[in-house]
């Protein structure tokens, strides 16, 4: 090809070949540094989330003897959990705070010591 016949593009169409702006001389390390910091944050979060003993989620209830429920006193021994729930609701309607607990001996209706006499009276009346 003849060099005299080559035409150059007008100045407004020529590409710009200026320098590439940079933040500073350490900008090449910025990307990997951010990646390492993010991985470190993820590691800390995941170690906290999957650590044992410090769970935010409640543990599964453990079945124990009727004497292992602290201050609660057993007042009834229903034959089934459904019957126990009916009795618990009867006590709740009478204003007695009651819990139905699954013990090693079966379901037990538990109340606070100060409510024991009133709970036994409500259950005996069959109301």
pTM: 0.51
Contact yes or no for 77/42 (Cβ under 8 A): no
pLDDT in tens, 9-48: 665 655 666 666 556 666 677 788 889 999 999 999 998 8
pLDDT in tens, 55-89: 667 777 778 887 777 888 999 989 999 999 999 99
Q: Where are the domains of the chain?
A: 66-125
Work out the number of other CB atoms within 10 angstroms of the CB of residue 109: 24
Query: How many whole angstroms separate alpha carbon 33 and alpha carbon 40?
Result: 11
Work out the number of other CB atoms within 10 angstroms of the CB of residue 27: 10
Query: Looking at the domain 66-125, which fold is it?
Result: VC0802-like (3.30.2130)
Contact yes or no for 66/108 (Cβ under 8 A): yes
């Amino acid at each position: 090809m003849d060099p005299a016949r080559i035409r150059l593009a007008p100045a407004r169409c020529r590409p710009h070949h200026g320098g590439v702006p940079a933040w500073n001389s350490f900008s090449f390390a910025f990307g990997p540094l951010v990646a390492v910091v993010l991985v470190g944050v993820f590691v800390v979060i995941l170690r906290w989330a999957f650590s044992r003993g410090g769970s935010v989620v409640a543990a599964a209830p453990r079945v124990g003897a009727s004497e292992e429920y602290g201050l609660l006193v057993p007042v009834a021994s229903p034959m089934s959990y459904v019957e126990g729930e009916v009795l618990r609701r009867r006590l709740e309607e009478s204003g007695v705070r009651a819990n139905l607990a699954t013990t090693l001996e079966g379901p037990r209706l538990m109340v606070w010591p100060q409510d024991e006499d009133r709970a036994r009276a409500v259950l005996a009346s069959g109301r």
